[in-house]
Structure 1
Amino acid sequence: MSHTLDFLSDNDVRQINRLVETLDRSNFDYFQIDIGELKVTIGKGALPTGGAVAAPMAAPTIAAPAPATAAPAAAPATPSPSPAAQPRAAAPEAGWAPITATTMGRFYSRPDPSSPPYVSVGDTVTADSTVCLIEVMKLFNAIPAGVAGTIAQVCVQDAEVVEFGQVLFYVKP
């Protein structure tokens, strides 16, 4: 490693290596984390950079703090849609409100394998109703509906990896 990363401990390097391995096994194209002055971007596909998309990277990169004007050296490429971004069901009707993933992770429709799902099509929810869990690195985040109404469509399958902002459900308000 270069002298600019000498402040990383062996444990930090191991954690970054685990992130690389986790990304390699996932459906995601990239992962970016900022911790203090350290910015780590790991990618295996197209990396969005301020609205533009960079070409797929040959290997993950670890970047030290860089000026905001730094631009990727790779030429723009057309990204291919990820499997999670492709539609699974009919398009939502006008007026339906989406419930989106508040984080990336694994979607769970039920609190445990022996329990029924939090919600199913036709169930009535309030804004505070828990509709699912999203697990990230062994942390389970309860996702509230955020809107009152009736579940009209479930857009993802149980145990599927979801991305931040991905539509999980549609609700008829």
Structure 2
Amino acid sequence: MDIKEIQSLIKFVAKSGASEVKLEMEDIKITIKTGSEAPETTIIQAPAPVAAAPQMVAAPAAQPATPAATPSPAETSDDSKYVTIKSPIIGTFYRRPSPDKPNFAEVGTEVKVGDTVCIIEAMKLFNEIESEVSGKIVKVLVDDSSPVEFDQPLFLVDPS
């Protein structure tokens, strides 16, 4: 098992919401525990007793998933003409580069393709999120310093 496979396993566990996953193979044991700010990963490479097949055990999630709120019919029809900028990764959403700087984008700000609209921190890396559309920011859908999921809507943009 190489580092890329281990990283994809960690991402999978983070997305799944499981609180603990154990993977045992012939020469490697991996335990991934979540539930704190960052996933904790323990990797032990030692000869284990010969197993017939790889075994994966997922414990139930520490917190039950909350059902998504369904938008009202009026909200849906109003938002249909707007383009949504979505989160490309899981992490913490920040509207400004540092606490003493202004926000990247406010409601009413004109953005062009490639303009930075926010930062998402993932595993201590700060990733600038760029607009994929030109237009005016109509609505900010996420509070500053709050966690976001993959593909979660962040901004509504009026492309006209």
Q: If the length of structure 1 is used for normalisation, what is the TM-score?
A: 0.57
In structure 1, which of residues 151, 154, 159 is the aligned counterpart of residue 145 of structure 2? Answer: 159
Identity of matched residues, %:
34
In structure 1, which of residues 136, 148, 172 is the aligned counterpart of residue 122 of structure 2? Answer: 136
Gap regions ≥5 residues in structure 2? 26-54
Residues 39 and 63 in structure 1, CA contact (< 8 A), matched pair in contact too: no
Residues 21 and 57 in structure 2, CA contact (< 8 A), matched pair in contact too: no
**AA in 1 matched with 2:147:** V
Q: If the length of structure 2 is used for normalisation, what is the TM-score?
A: 0.61
SS in 2 for 1:34: helix
State the superposition RMSD in angstroms: 3.8
**AA in 1 matched with 2:117:** V
How much has 1:61 moved relative to structure 2? 1.3
Runs of 4+ in 1 over 4 A off after TM superposition: 70-74, 85-92
How big is each residue's C-alpha offset from its partner over 1:115-165, in whole Å with a ceiling of 9 and x where there is no partner? 110001111000111000000121000000110000011000000000110
Gap regions ≥5 residues in structure 1? 1-6, 13-32, 48-55
CA distance in 1 between counterparts of 2:82 and 2:102 reads 24
Distance change in 2, residues 1:73/1:130 (3 Å): closer
Q: Does 1:108 align with 2:94?
A: yes
Aligned length: 122
Corresponding position of 2:79: 93
